[in-house]
Amino acid sequence: MSEDRALETEGWALRLERGLAGAGIDGRRARRLAEEAVAEASDYALPPEEVYGPAEAYARELARAARAAVREERRLDESRSGAPVLRLRDVSKRYGRKTVVRDVSLELGSGQIGAIVGANGSGKSTLLKICAGLVRATSGSVERVENVGYVPQAGGLSPLLTASEHFRLFGSLDGKNERESLVAGTRLAQSLGWRPNRKLGAARLSGGTQQKLNVVLGGINRPRLILLDEPYQGFDQGTYTDFWEQLFSWREAGAGVLVVTHILHDLDGVDWTCELHPQEES
């Protein structure tokens, strides 16, 4: 970093710290937030002002986010009570004459991980789409909370949009502004050991990286229910471990997580398993 850039960054961080302190954030926390902002901006090789805007305005925004986090903590306390986030009763799905899901009942509480397992063609993806509200059950009932994240097995991205543009698009659905979306997406990406490239469109990312992006988008708005359809197919071993750690930390934070998997050792860390069986043609 040039000397000018270093001075500019230092000044910006100081103004941010002062602005935060002025907005009632305690001194040590204000310093940590300023350090994090500088570190994140350096990930993008840009001066913090270019990423976050003027320090004073960003301080106001962070203070607002801190107040929202307190409200969120209250909400999480409610969800830690284990209230159900998803309940299926006798759900079946037919395509024409073929029954692909038969009489499935399950209940996922907040702070739980459930796994859907079964042979190829046993209806796992169909059931997850029913849970997400993307496919309608032929019979039975589905109740779910409103805030849901869904991570498909593949696809689901806009080929020309970059990772950051996806963060903004998905974040805006939750009322986040551009910076909040960028920060939330970048943090989640980092927890999967990924530093998004600022320029590449999704179509030019590797298969595994596209799936990391899908996982980030599934969790970017801190949903109370997160549905994941074997999204780890292209992950290397390290990312795969990070992925499960992320599921555990979502559970810890009070979300209900439902994951389709066919890898049996995954099941060690889950709270319950629902096994599906391929249906005979009727």
- Please name which of 44, 48, 46, 52 lies closest in space to residue 198, comparing C-alpha atoms: 44
Shortest distance in whole angstroms from residue 109 CB to ligand ATP: 24
Nearer residue to ligand ATP within complex by CB, 27 or 121: 121
Shortest distance in whole angstroms from residue 267 CB to ligand ATP: 16
- N-term to C-term CA, the chain: 69
Nearer residue to ligand ATP within complex by CB, 32 or 262: 262
Nearer residue to ligand ATP within complex by CB, 95 or 248: 95
SS3 call for 179? helix
Shortest distance in whole angstroms from residue 262 CB to ligand ATP: 6
Amino acid at 56: E
Q: Each residue of 154-183: b (16+ CB within 10 Å) or e?
A: eebbeeebbbbbbbbebbeeeebeebbbbb
Task: Report d(CA 248, CA 22) in Å as an integer.
Answer: 36
- Please name which of 238, 240, 181, 234 lies closest in space to residue 208, comparing C-alpha atoms: 234
Nearer residue to ligand ATP within complex by CB, 180 or 230: 230
Instruction: Tell me which H or E stretch contains 44.
Output: none
Report the interface residues with ligand ATP, using CB under 6 A. Answer: 95, 100, 118, 120-126
Nearer residue to ligand ATP within complex by CB, 47 or 123: 123
Shortest distance in whole angstroms from residue 206 CB to ligand ATP: 21
Instruction: Tell me which H or E stretch contains 70.
Output: helix 55-79
Cα-based distances in Å from 39 to 10, 31, 42, 43, 151: 12, 12, 5, 6, 29
Nearer residue to ligand ATP within complex by CB, 36 or 90: 90
Task: Report d(CA 222, CA 218) in Å as an integer.
Answer: 8
Shortest distance in whole angstroms from residue 261 CB to ligand ATP: 10
Shortest distance in whole angstroms from residue 129 CB to ligand ATP: 8
